[in-house]
Amino acid sequence: MRRKAGRSHILFLTLLFASLLLFLLPDEQVSSLRGRALSAVAPVLNSVRDWKPSQNLHPASLETPASPTSAPAAPAVVTPVENTSQLAQFAAEIDRLRAETITLRSDNMRLHSALPGAGAAPMQPNGLHADVISRRMLWQEPILAINRGSAHGIHVHAGVLHRNAVLGRIADIGPGAATVALTTHRGVSIAARLADCRQEGVLQGMQGVDGSERLCRLQIVGRECLAKEGEQIVTSGFDGAFPAGLWLGTVLKVAKSADVQWEITVRPACDESRVESVQVLTVDTPAVPWPEMPILKRRN
Amino acid sequence: MQAVFCLTLFSVLAIVLQFGVVPAVAPPLIRPDFCLIFALAALVMGPREFGLVCVFLLGFVADMFGSSRFGLLTISYLLAAGALMGLTGKDMVRGDTLLGALLAIAGTLLAHGAYVLIGRAIGLDLPWSRAGAQLLGLAIGGALVAMPVMFVTGKLFFRIGMMDGAERETWLLRERASAAQRRRAARAGGR
């Protein structure tokens, strides 16, 4: 008995040491490991998702985020619908049609560019439809798992949209699945612009003040900030992950954080709990070249 | 062979329940940590070494999907399991389902409390308000699911011969008692 207890103590210490080694793994390896593990369990999570009977039942899942051009975001009016199953069917149908639209739009752009003498194709984000297979994972920062991965043409840091509003960026990726870090995730930063006053800055995730609602912060450098509460924030397109003009969120509060620095609290455009399917942008993130510096000639 | 079967079964069940079913079905206030509860059930009902391996493996699974710092949940799980083993020992539980369930709830609070404390110490974004709400959800969820998980695990271990010592004795007595009860009922029905 004593020998057995001693053996389990040794095992306990060994496992504790092994877990310390896991703790010290570099982030790149963890990211790749997570992507692969998620890909491995994606079929199971997919079938659980398909099996769920109550999926999309929330009437709010039908709400489309207001476009940035529509002035101050009015509270969404939800019409009481008695037949919730019919509502769920409509929501699923809408998402299916959206996915079809995305595919058709991509085809259209491809064919348009192949036509001899045709002008530039209309600028629309080219993307891939994906379903959410997991969310709210214990202590994880705000992250969603989706059922598309590198095998489908998705790459790390690609932009993710939900009904044409920005949802986040791809964080970890495996062959058959990926995780999306939402705009409220502290590690995500997106180049943004205030829609009315046109000031630009960087949007990052932050914890809500009361701890319940997760918000974002937009940092702007400038002598003055003309942002107003309720103003819309859109992508500026400078980070290369998103085209310019996509809706990011709404200004909640404007505060001066330093002499020439402003911090704007932003409510994100998408509510993660209502997202069932997303659009992952498949355009390659362009490598921004350094501008060519003129060679200075010495005057001797 | 039995150990491999149990490890695989627990891992798959924990992943499906924790990351597929719970977020979709359970209300926000109920967030049971199935990974830890299955691990503690294996520790309470099965051999100690197997239980520890289960705690490590399921901690790894939880870390893979549900931790903002990889490895931290595994450490927390092991610390909680070590504390429970040190404080109570297996002899106190002896395969009892209710005591096992209480131990699982205490283990959940210990493990996730350790996660919050260590996480805050290394600079993770874990404000007390969020941590408190999450711990409450974990405790409520644990209280709801710990008992059935303990019972099912005990039953499985007893059936496939993974139990030994005091746990096996307890379950053998329970099985005999229930068999006698069934016999009495059958006899009474026959008359």
What rounded mean pLDDT belongs to chain A? 76
Among B25, B125, B129, beta carbon nearest to A210: B129
State the amino acid at position B154 in one-letter form.
G
Residue-level pLDDT at B57: 93
pLDDT tens digits for A134-176? 887 778 777 888 988 888 888 888 888 888 888 888 888 888 8
Is A138's CB within 8 Å of B15's CB?
A: no
Residue B152 has pLDDT above 50, yes or no: yes
Nearest CA to CA, how far is A32 from chain B (Å)?
11
Residue B136, chain A, CB below 8 Å: the answer is no
3-state secondary structure of B102: helix
Nearest CA to CA, how far is A212 from chain B (Å)?
7
pLDDT tens digits for B49-62? 888 999 999 999 99
Structure tokens at B56: 């490590």
Residue-level pLDDT at B35: 92
Distance of alpha carbon B108 from alpha carbon A151, whole angstroms: 38
Q: Which residue of B has its CA nearest to A17?
A: B75
Match 């598309």 to its residue by tokens.
A148
Residue A18, chain B, CB below 8 Å: the answer is yes
Residue A106's φ and ψ, nearest 5 degrees, are -60, -45
pLDDT tens digits for A207-246? 655 556 678 889 888 888 888 888 889 998 888 788 888 8
Q: Which residue of A has its CA nearest to B31?
A: A138
Q: Which residue of A has its CA nearest to B19?
A: A134
Least confident of A22-31, A52-61, A281-290, B25-34: A52-61
CA-CA-CA-CA torsion for A88, A89, A95, A98, nearest 10 degrees?
A: -140
Residue A205 has pLDDT above 60, yes or no: yes
